[in-house]
C-alpha cells in the first residue's frame, strides 16, 4: 500500500488539530513499517538522508569512548571528546 503526499500531510494536520494545546514545543514521531523488504539482501537495502528544516534547539556534543583505530576514526570524524577506557578507571 502506498500513500501519496497530500493524504499523509492531511492526516498529520488532522492529528495536530485534534490534539489539545501544550505549553511546550511538540514534536511529531513517524514510524514506518516495511513489508516484503529483507535488509539482509543487498539489493533490498536502502539508505536515505533527510535534512531537517530547523536545527535542533541546543548545540550537541559527542563523546566517544574508544581506543586504537576506532579512537582515531572518531577524532577524524569530528567527535568533541575521545577518551580511552583506562582514563575512566
What's the confidence (pLDDT) of residue 71?
93
Q: Specify which residues 49 forms β-bridges with.
A: none
- pTM of the complete model: 0.39
How far from the centroid of its chain's Cα atoms is residue 36's Cα?
A: 23
Contact 51, 44 (CB under 8 A): no
> Is it the case that residue 28 has pLDDT exceeding 80?
no
Structurally, how many domains does the chain consist of? 1
Report which of 35, 16, 36 is spatially closest to residue 26, judged by C-alpha positions: 16
Q: What is the pLDDT of residues 31-76, one digit of tens each?
A: 877 888 888 888 888 777 777 787 777 788 899 999 999 999 999 9
What domain range includes position 45?
A: 5-88
Yes or no: say if 74 and 64 are a contact pair by the CB < 8 Å rule.
Answer: yes
Would you place residue 78 in the very low, low, confident or very high pLDDT band (cuts 50, 70, 90)? very high
Amino acid at each position: 500500500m502506498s500513500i501519496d503526499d497530500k493524504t499523509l500531510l492531511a492526516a498529520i494536520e488532522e492529528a495536530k488539530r485534534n490534539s489539545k494545546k501544550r505549553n511546550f514545543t511538540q514534536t511529531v514521531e513517524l514510524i514506518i513499517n516495511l513489508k516484503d523488504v529483507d535488509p539482509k539482501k543487498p539489493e533490498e537495502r536502502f539508505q536515505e538522508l533527510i535534512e531537517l528544516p530547523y536545527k535542533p534547539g541546543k548545540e550537541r556534543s559527542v563523546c566517544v569512548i574508544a581506543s586504537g583505530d576506532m579512537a582515531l576514526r572518531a577524532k577524524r570524524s569530528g567527535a568533541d571528546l575521545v577518551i580511552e577506557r583506562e582514563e575512566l578507571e
